[in-house]
Structure 1
Amino acid sequence: MRFWVCIFVLLFVHNQFSRADKIINNNSLYTEKYIRDIYISNPKRALQLLDEAETRKAFPLRLINELRSLSYRNMYMNKLAFMYARKSYLLDSISQREPKHMLKMTVYLAELSSIMSKYNESMHYALSGIMQAQKLKDREAEARLLFCIGENNWRLSLKDEAYNYFGRTIELLRGSKDMREMMLLSYYYGAEMGFLMTDSRIDEALALAYEREKLLKKLEKVPEVPEGYIDGQYSYLYANLAYISYLEKKYAQAEGYYQKYLAIKESHTPDGKMYSIPYLILSKQYETVIDNCKDFKELLRTQRDTLNAQYLTILNKEVQAYLGLNRYKEAAEIRETIIAITDSINSTDRKNAALELNAMYGASEKEEYIAEQASQLKIRNVSLCFLACIVVLTLFILWRLWRFNHIIEYKNRMLAKLINEKFANKKDGNQLLEVYEEQEVSSELEPELISPEEQDELLDETDKESGEEEENKKIFQELNHTVVQKQLYLSPELSREDLAQIVHLNNARFARMIRECTGTNFNGYINGLRINYAIKLMKKYPNYTIRAIADESGFNSAPILYNLFKKKTGMTPYEFKKAQDTLRN
């Protein structure tokens, strides 16, 4: 039994490791390095992997778009290549985190615009890229952009400007010890030679050829140079030198360069044999031309790649050779083949153009869908943020209200406690007056308003006699005792004249007496007693309504009690009752 359990455990563990290896292998397909390795040999597969890599977010979108651009460029779908290079460029320009990658995309855009004959756009990218390259001290990028400007000018027939930029490119790279820059310089020597030979500027082309030969001798001493690179460069160089020498009617020198070319291993490969075709045609070695063309044609057939401009170029060279040999029948047959291939290429180009437009439309639809989703997400996020702000604001307002109410309740409790302490165990009469005279309960106390008649009476000092003030105090004590003991202040109809008659004083002196002894006028004095009484009632009868308290205290209405109570104590009768309940509990 234990044996079978062990077997099952081992099988389970092996299965898990197999699945893990499979997942790791699958994930390794969507790496930048793997796709960068295959986009030249298998661009369609690379594009499929890039779509999945974008879905998985395997690496940054700017790099995914760069590899898409390179893949489409390798498929000669330059519009799509430009579109994705532009997307990568825009991502870099927004983030501003990778200036070197942004410069690389600027170079791609300048070159692709030139390929599509959009020279103004190409010049724009190239000029802005040169500034970036100088800032980053990237001589390779600067050289590529300078040469791109030169090519644009050459195609626009601005030859002097073109060769000026070619010269600046070469001058920038000349003398460099960097292997990549030296290899790039070799390429630009060859490219400018081609332009010079097309323009029949043979002497200048020959001078560049000699400079290139010197450069290749320096590159031979660099150990990091890829194997076969030097041979390829020499074979191309000597084939062109043989052609130039023959044009100058230096036949022996031309043959010497041709022999040097043949001495290089690269010259015997199908690619290398094509370098010598211009010299062989010029020197009328037609049979050799035909043989060399057959070898390269066979190579393209094995690769199933015969519907392209390169194959047509070979066929045209064959036609020239057969015409040189007066073999018109073979030349005519090849011309028929050229016509058929041209038709197929045109058909393929139309199909590719349709596919490219379809792909661009699909990409545009995808972008619109993504933009719509992003817009909806943005609206949702804004809505959520707005709701969150509303909730936070509501909570803040509620907290403020709670805090305000809490402070008010605390203040009311303290005021009620202070009032209780002042009125605790005090009798009516002088005790109440003493409380009133000592200080007002509230810090917000407002003085009673004095009517114009009372103001005139207070200002009338004609009847005032010496010793009157002491006499007024005695009279007021008696009056106050009577008012408090008999609770005359509880009568809503009580008037100043009623009390003046009790003490047998005229209105002017009565007003002065009240002001001297209470610090307020008649209404303030009476209302103060009524409020004191209302406080006693609210403490003694907590279940009484405010209306009942007002009636019992001599106020004509509850609002008058509310108003005066608020002025005297700093809180309303309702708040006072509530504070009393809290203190009792």
Structure 2
Amino acid sequence: MKQMKLKDLIIPLLATLIFSGFTFAGNEPASVSLPDSILNEDHIYKYLYTDRSKSDRIMTEMRRRKTCPAWELDYIEGDLNYNTGRNREALKHYKGALESSHVKGNDTLCMELLHRQISCYDGLHDEVNKMSCINRLMALAKKLKDKSMESIALFNMGKSLFHQGDKERGYEYMEQGAAMMDDTDYRLKYDNLRYEYKTLALFYQRDGRYDNVLRILDGWEDIVSESTGDEPAIDGLAESELKDLLAMRTVTLSRTGYETEAAECYRKFRELDKELGRNNYLVMPYLFDTKQYDEIFRINLPRERFLIGQKDTVNYYMASILKFLGYAYRDVGNHKNSSVYFERLSVLRDSLKAREQQSAALELAEIYKTNEQAAQLKEDESAIRIRTIVFLSTAILLAVAIGFIICILHDKQIILRKNEAMKGTIDELMTYKSEFFIRQAENIRLRDELQQFYNTQEEPDSEMSELSEKEQNLPDEEDEGTEVPVIKLTEKDRVLYDRISHEIISRKLYLRPGFNKSELIKEIHIPDYKFAALFKTFAGCGFSQYLRDCRMDYAIGLMRKHPQWSMEAVAKEAQMSKTSFYRQFQEKYGMNPSNYIKTELFSH
């Protein structure tokens, strides 16, 4: 029978562990196929305007993988929504971040989030909440002596005053805010300045304050591509800013009488106008002033077709296009087309009003949907955690079980090797005893022949008659623990012991029930005073132990010859009780007889 090896059990156990891993981990959500290198805030900003869907995918994957704390994910997702025009959704995330314990204990982060909420409320024309945030930001900025945040609060306060009709004070605050920002080393300094300069330029232009427009444009141009190094990179941002700046400069130069400079600015604008830009409306006043209707058609008709193709026609960009085309066709005398565009403009404005009325409800519904999705996500995460705990617990239990089994098998292998070694020793001992018995029989035969020869030549040995009466009456003590008197034995005594041993083994006298010293003396003439000394000297043990050893040797012979026998049958055949047989075998050989039989079977 082939012995089972350790590796034969380890391999299936490891396979079970791996299968368990697949069972519990198999329900993990599939990963979005995005490289780890772009799963960060910088790449969300990078693709904001060139690939918005990619920014959304990065954000979703960052949420799923929890690449940063929850408040930071809300912060980033708020920026993503704000920069793509979803102000209410952005507000939800900014508020979520602002309410986190981490942000509440950090005034700097709190000011950053208040700044972003101000921008959202500005886009929603919610002046009440906007002013509440401005006041909170101003109070925190003054408390911390943070000039960059104070400048932001001041600029937005000026913008609110402007929209409320207090233009002069509005301009004053906005100018002060921009100047204060320019003196800071705020990490988003130039990003804020570009926004502030553009806002001021638009307001001044609408009011016809062209000297102020040119002054602001000069400041804007100086920093159009500047960066503090900490500002997130956005593809195409510098080119887009420069194009807007050129459009506004063209209009301002034209209206202040600098026609040549205006034409040069427009030429530069056209060089950058390689795509259907959303902000081309900024240059329209110049084209109308100079009656360049072909340019108006060249810019707006493709943009109109593009928006229709995209099925994105209900927006203020489309309204501007329809207005410009309606006036352009009117000015060139094509009243039919002009009326069509003005009619479409009227319908679109009604649609925009209706959409504005619905937008709040739609955005709130989207927020509710998002909240439901967030709740579902938490539920899924909880389920995943439970599966993970179960999987880890199972894996640990399996690992412990494998370790335990390995230890057991290792110990069994050690015991098996010891048993095999002991079995070999026992087998060698039995072979030696068998050979010794044969040689002993041969020696006895030769001695008998020699004795017969000597008997014809000499008188019988008179040693026995010379012993004193005292010596003949020495006690017979052969059991263990009984002191045996020292008697000088001769070679003849050795011969006598060999005869006795040979008779006992060859005739299997040890198997006779109740066989003892008296029985033996009846069978073989042994001087009584020498009985114990013979066995102690030549057998190395008392007569009782000698008989037990003979029965044990006989039992081993039976086990080797009949390995299928039960231990009870072997013990009975060897005139021993099963308990005594097991005890004596264990004491003598360090293993039990059952293991000896198993080793015998394995070896075959």
TM-score by length of 1: 0.50
Separation (CA, whole Å) in 1 of partners of 2:92 and 2:149: 20
Q: Does 1:82 align with 2:91?
A: yes
Cα 1:58–1:252 change in 2 (3 A) is: closer
Q: Does 1:257 align with 2:265?
A: yes
Secondary structure at the counterpart of residue 297 of structure 1: helix
* Cα pair 1:35 1:49 within 8 Å, conserved: no
Aligned to 1:356: 363
Separation (CA, whole Å) in 1 of partners of 2:149 and 2:26: 41
* Cα pair 2:188 2:228 within 8 Å, conserved: no
Give the deviation of 1:256 after TM superposition. 2.6
Cα 1:324–1:165 change in 2 (3 A) is: same
Aligned to 2:273: 267
* Cα pair 1:186 1:216 within 8 Å, conserved: yes
Separation (CA, whole Å) in 1 of partners of 2:371 and 2:230: 48
Separation (CA, whole Å) in 2 of partners of 1:280 and 1:245: 13
Aligned to 2:348: 341
Q: Does 1:276 align with 2:283?
A: yes
Aligned to 2:336: 329
Aligned to 2:459: none
Larger mean CA deviation between 208-217 and 275-284 belongs to 208-217
Give the deviation of 1:60 after TM superposition. 4.3
Residues 447-502 of structure 1: CA distance to partner in whole angstroms, max 9, x if unpaired? xxxxxxxxxxxxxxxxxxxxxxxxxxxxxxxxxxxxxxxxxxxxxxxxxxxxxxxx
Separation (CA, whole Å) in 2 of partners of 1:6 and 1:153: 78
* Cα pair 1:193 1:209 within 8 Å, conserved: yes
Cα 1:14–1:294 change in 2 (3 A) is: farther
* Cα pair 1:176 1:182 within 8 Å, conserved: no
* Cα pair 1:50 1:68 within 8 Å, conserved: no
Separation (CA, whole Å) in 1 of partners of 2:132 and 2:126: 10
Give the deviation of 1:205 after TM superposition. 1.0
Separation (CA, whole Å) in 2 of partners of 1:278 and 1:97: 50
Q: Does 1:287 align with 2:310?
A: no
Q: Does 1:172 align with 2:180?
A: yes
Aligned to 2:254: 246
* Cα pair 2:41 2:76 within 8 Å, conserved: no
Residues 276-330 of structure 1: CA distance to partner in whole angstroms, max 9, x if unpaired? 3221112110111111012322343444322211111111111121111111111
Secondary structure at the counterpart of residue 99 of structure 2: helix
Give the deviation of 1:197 after TM superposition. 0.8
The one-letter code sitting in structure 2 at the alignment partner of 1:246 is S
Aligned to 1:310: 317
Give the deviation of 1:367 after TM superposition. 12
Aligned to 1:91: 100
Aligned to 2:111: 103
Give the deviation of 1:224 after TM superposition. 9.7
Secondary structure at the counterpart of residue 326 of structure 1: coil
Give the deviation of 1:185 after TM superposition. 1.6
Aligned to 1:62: 71
Give the deviation of 1:166 after TM superposition. 1.3
The one-letter code sitting in structure 2 at the alignment partner of 1:297 is E
Separation (CA, whole Å) in 2 of partners of 1:42 and 1:228: 17
1:26-37 alignment to 2 at 5 Å? 26=31, 33=40, 37=44
Larger mean CA deviation between 355-364 and 183-192 belongs to 355-364
Q: How many corresponding residue pairs?
A: 360
Give the deviation of 1:103 after TM superposition. 1.6
Separation (CA, whole Å) in 1 of partners of 2:190 and 2:62: 37
The one-letter code sitting in structure 2 at the alignment partner of 1:231 is E
* Cα pair 2:148 2:186 within 8 Å, conserved: no
The one-letter code sitting in structure 2 at the alignment partner of 1:339 is S
Cα 1:65–1:17 change in 2 (3 A) is: same
Separation (CA, whole Å) in 2 of partners of 1:17 and 1:259: 64
Separation (CA, whole Å) in 2 of partners of 1:57 and 1:225: 23
Cα 1:72–1:17 change in 2 (3 A) is: same
Separation (CA, whole Å) in 2 of partners of 1:225 and 1:59: 20
Give the deviation of 1:334 after TM superposition. 1.6
- Percent of residue pairs identical: 18
Cα 1:142–1:14 change in 2 (3 A) is: farther
Aligned to 2:478: none
Separation (CA, whole Å) in 2 of partners of 1:230 and 1:63: 27
Separation (CA, whole Å) in 2 of partners of 1:351 and 1:273: 28
The one-letter code sitting in structure 1 at the alignment partner of 2:99 is L
Separation (CA, whole Å) in 2 of partners of 1:43 and 1:122: 31
Separation (CA, whole Å) in 2 of partners of 1:128 and 1:107: 10
Cα 1:190–1:45 change in 2 (3 A) is: closer
The one-letter code sitting in structure 2 at the alignment partner of 1:122 is K
The one-letter code sitting in structure 2 at the alignment partner of 1:82 is L
Aligned to 1:440: none
Give the deviation of 1:164 after TM superposition. 1.4
More relative contact order, 1 or 2 (CA 8 Å, 6+ apart) = 2
1:467-546 alignment to 2 at 5 Å? none
Separation (CA, whole Å) in 1 of partners of 2:350 and 2:162: 30
* Cα pair 2:188 2:231 within 8 Å, conserved: no
Separation (CA, whole Å) in 1 of partners of 2:67 and 2:43: 14
Residues 78-129 of structure 1: CA distance to partner in whole angstroms, max 9, x if unpaired? 4454354334323358x63333322222112222333333324322321321
Aligned to 2:134: 126
